[in-house]
Chain A
Amino acid sequence: MMLHPVLGVAGERRLLLGNEAVARGAIEGGVEVAASYPGTPASEILETLAEVAEEVGIYVEWSTNEMVAWEVAVGAAMCNKRSMASMKHIGVNWVIDPLMHSVLHGFNAGLLLVSCDDPSGHSSATEQDNRNLAYMAEIPILEPSDPQEAKDFTVEAIEISEELRVPVLLRLVTRVAHTRGDVVLGELRRESRKPEFHDDFYTKFVLKKGFAGPRVIPELHRILHEKLERAVKLAEKRKLNKVKGGGGELLIVSSGVAYSYVKEAIEDLGVEDKVTVLKVEMVHPFPAELLRELLRDHRRVLVLEEGEPYLEREVKLAAFDGKCTVEVHGKLSGKIGRVGELDPVEVRKAIAEMLGVEVEGEGPSIGELELRELTTPRVISFCPGCPHRAAFYALKKAINKVCKGKHLAIGDIGCYTMGMNPPLRVQQTVFCMGGSIGMACGAAHSGLDCPVIATAGDSTFFHACIPGLINAVYNKAKLLFHILDNEATAMTGFQPHPGTGKTAVGLEARKIKIEDVARACGAGFVEVVDPYDLKRCEEVFAKALRYEGVAVVITRRECAQLFLRKLRHKGLKPSLVVVDEELCKGCKVCINQFGCPAICWDQEKDKARVDPVLCIGCGVCIQVCPFNALKWGERR
């Protein structure tokens, strides 16, 4: 066995993913408790820590959701353990409430919140910039520009948090979290601290003045502001925020991955002596004094950052306060695009333009038309054998039968969201995790004259659906809640959750059954069905759609990817379906209504054909074909 890449010795160079580098930084920084909920592009941080937890002697968990993950981290910090919670950007939306409270306390141990933002929404439905959330919470923010800094700043952030007794946000973006780079490892820290309860809030307030009210809260708030003032000095002491190069009248202010584009562009353009760069590493609190000093010799500023014009506003504020007359360019001025992620070419062009330097144009390309004719985008769909496809196929048939296809289905986030795509097109809309059931309550009470359906996955159910389900029962909504249980958090990489009976480090845990929870929440109709059994599924859905109350249908079958992995692990091959060409009438139901990617159209024969490489032998299509042309075959 090779040593895990994040466990190398100090001084070694390793190729690490930004997220792996954060995990290494956590170990170097003495983090003893780490919690998270899966989400791209953040999952590898906890996955990596889980892989080495036993060896390093730290506690890690997949929590039921991000709010709980943050609370776990806070609870551990309160007991003297350096701790952290990591998540994708929208996970932080869940953390806001406990975060806003935790900033007013003070612990003996460092406490870190890691947010992986996803500009352009490569794997998300919002582009939010969480520097704005941390600004609202009034906590320090560090922003690394590459995997090396992702590691180094994790250590810095933990130490700063401990020194100031306030949580710190480490803000990554997709291009740092999901970039591999050469990282020089630092010293590992393996001391275990004695657990001990301490909270400044308790010793300084609860014991002396009570725990709330105007006698206490403004005072806590004032202390937070004091901590932020100290943060500015601490950044200076630790040499965060750097001034590079010098000369010329142009000042570039940059942070995070944008700085890596800036650095490369300046070298490419050969303009090192024509610009000064302020690389902001602690973006909040902003180094306003440092900026004002630089503004004495610079009349024009270009701000390059990933996400919202966060630094740009800070630059303008600082310039205004210092009565400096400067031109400030960036996203607000229109020099840089306001939405989507930055592009290295756009950054280089902007710098060149500000300096009046020529840049070379691109080489000749082929025409759009030619390209469109020769290529087509690859739409994603459920995998061959996916239980979700079968479940939605049956649900759709039941909807057609019971209410002539008229319905409103509100979807949720997971692989099952693809049920919105053709050919199934079951859900009409989708919001955030757990949103479906609550919104379905509102739709059900709106008087809409058709059945209302909420869909959710198993991981989503545990994450966010339980209050919504209780609400539906309590407030007498009539709706169908369809839970697609594939025994995994599939979309983000098959992580375990409370329904799987496994913990993050692979220990056995008590399996929590969704049907037990649903019954305990008071749902009057609760059924569990195997989605591969289309007939039975359709019957249950039909009954549920007619039910006068909250009906919960759980379709349960393991994710096809996990099934395949286990099969291959055992050295076995899946079964195979073949087409009986005599019987195939060319109706295309298997393709146009069911849509399994393993079934394709043989243009020459005008018949369906099963691709044996893709087919996993679920056999559901056998039930779909009206002419019995799909049948079991033999693998050679």
Chain B
Amino acid sequence: MKINIIVAGVGGQGNVTAAYLLGVAALEAGFNVRVADVYGLAQRGGAVVSHVRIGRVYSPLIGKREADVVVGLEPMEALRNAAKFVKREGVVLTNTYPIYPIEASVGEFQYPEIGKLLKAMKKLAKTVVAINAQRLANEAGLPIAANIAMLGALAALEVLPFTAQHMRSVVEKYIPRFKEENLKAFNLGFRACGEVLSHRDR
């Protein structure tokens, strides 16, 4: 058994924390784990990518088009990494809330409509799930918890080799502050993803 997950976002979104929590959850469920974070100067608005590998794994890196899931904390990063990593049979799970790059602020780049980004993702992977994790985090009362809402959503996809309850308990155990808000964000993400999936199944 081997599961490859890419977590991608922008510096400051809690990418590394989300990947770390996934890693701890896998470790505590008894699996071998590799988590490799790739970031330049993250606090300065750069892109961040974490490779999370669970099971019979040795290499820290996921190869091209070998990810089972790409989790995008930001939609443009989701597409960028889906194009590089997601398997045809895989899943792209993306937040729909954009963080504009400087070129977009300056007006040199037109940030695409979310619909266009999703359409491109659908060409790459069999399953694409989009939720507004930022709205859910705001609803939970902790705007910086979009990463945790995305973990909740990931747990609802049923691709992880452990239960959503286990993932949730790791979030509870390892996040020292604002436990209640974080758990709420997790639950909202879980539910939102579940709803998207049930619509699709019908």
Interface mask (A254-282 → B, CB under 8 Å = 1, otherwise 0): 00010011011001000000000000000
Shortest distance in angstroms between A363's beta carbon and chain B's nearest beta carbon? 4
Shortest distance in angstroms between A116's beta carbon and chain B's nearest beta carbon? 14
Closest-by-CB residue of B relative to A368 is B83
Cβ contact within 8 Å between A122 and B40? yes
Cβ contact within 8 Å between B58 and A264? yes
B79 in contact (CB, < 8 A): yes
Q: A15-B35, A375-B76, A601-B105 are in contact. Are A366 and B58 (CB under 8 A)?
A: no
Report the interface size for chain B: residues with CB under 8 A from the other chain.
Answer: 51
Q: A15-B35, A180-B34, A376-B109 are in contact. Are A383 and B43 (CB under 8 A)?
A: yes
Cβ contact within 8 Å between A260 and B60? yes
For window 50-86 of B, CB contacts with A under 8 Å fall at: 56-66, 76, 79-80, 83
Cβ contact within 8 Å between A376 and B58? no
Cβ contact within 8 Å between A381 and B102? yes
Cβ contact within 8 Å between B79 and A371? yes
* Size bracket of the A interface: 35 or more
Cβ contact within 8 Å between B41 and A491? yes
Q: Which of A71-79, A390-398, A496-504, A592-600 contacts B (4 or more CB under 8 A)?
A: A592-600
Q: A363-B88, A371-B83 are in contact. Are A182 and B106 (CB under 8 A)?
A: no
Cβ contact within 8 Å between A379 and B102? yes
Shortest distance in angstroms between B149's beta carbon and chain A's nearest beta carbon? 17
Cβ contact within 8 Å between A378 and B47? yes
Do most interface residues of chain A lie in helix, strand or loop, or is the interface mixed? mixed
Closest-by-CB residue of A relative to B21 is A15
Cβ contact within 8 Å between B124 and A366? yes
Cβ contact within 8 Å between B41 and A380? yes
A591 in contact (CB, < 8 A): yes
Closest-by-CB residue of A relative to B52 is A180
B194 in contact (CB, < 8 A): no
Q: Pick the contact of B46 from A380, A382, A603 — CB < 8 Å? A: A380
For window 351-404 of A, CB contacts with B under 8 Å fall at: 362-366, 370-371, 373-383
Cβ contact within 8 Å between B33 and A182? yes
Q: A181-B33, A182-B33, A345-B64 are in contact. Are A597 and B83 (CB under 8 A)?
A: no
- Residue numbers in A under 8 Å from B44 (CB-CB): 380-383, 415, 418
Q: A15-B35, A597-B105 are in contact. Are A366 and B63 (CB under 8 A)?
A: no
- Residue numbers in B under 8 Å from A418 (CB-CB): 44
Cβ contact within 8 Å between B65 and A365? yes
For window 70-119 of B, CB contacts with A under 8 Å fall at: 76, 79-80, 83, 87-88, 100-107, 109, 112, 116-117
Q: Pick the contact of B105 from A13, A362, A377, A591 — CB < 8 Å? A: A591
Cβ contact within 8 Å between A179 and B105? no
- Residue numbers in A under 8 Å from B127 (CB-CB): none
Do most interface residues of chain B lie in helix, strand or loop, or is the interface mixed? mixed
A98 in contact (CB, < 8 A): no
Q: Pick the contact of B45 from A145, A376, A380, A595 — CB < 8 Å? A: A380
Cβ contact within 8 Å between B23 and A180? yes
Give Cα A179 to B101, complex, Å.
27
Q: Pick the contact of B35 from A180, A264, A603 — CB < 8 Å? A: A180
Cβ contact within 8 Å between B47 and A344? no
B24 in contact (CB, < 8 A): yes
B196 in contact (CB, < 8 A): no
B162 in contact (CB, < 8 A): no
- Residue numbers in B under 8 Å from A257 (CB-CB): 60
Q: Pick the contact of B27 from A15, A343, A603 — CB < 8 Å? A: A15
Cβ contact within 8 Å between A374 and B120? yes
Cβ contact within 8 Å between B47 and A175? no
Q: Pick the contact of B59 from A344, A377, A592 — CB < 8 Å? A: A344
Give Cα A374 to B77, complex, Å.
10
B36 in contact (CB, < 8 A): yes
- Residue numbers in A under 8 Å from B104 (CB-CB): 376, 600
B10 in contact (CB, < 8 A): yes
Give Cα A260 to B32, complex, Å.
13
B123 in contact (CB, < 8 A): yes
Interface mask (A202-236 → B, CB under 8 Å = 1, otherwise 0): 00000000000000000000000000000000000
- Residue numbers in B under 8 Å from A364 (CB-CB): 88, 123-124
Give Cα A600 to B117, complex, Å.
22
A/B interface sample: 20 pairs, CB < 8 A: A15-B20, A15-B35, A175-B36, A181-B32, A181-B33, A182-B33, A343-B61, A344-B61, A363-B87, A363-B88, A364-B88, A366-B83, A374-B76, A374-B116, A374-B117, A380-B40, A381-B45, A383-B45, A491-B41, A597-B102
Instruction: Give residues in A with beta carbon < 8 Å to B.
Output: 13-15, 122-123, 145-146, 175-176, 178-182, 257, 260-261, 263-264, 267, 343-345, 348, 362-366, 370-371, 373-383, 415, 418, 491, 561, 591-592, 595, 597, 599-601, 603
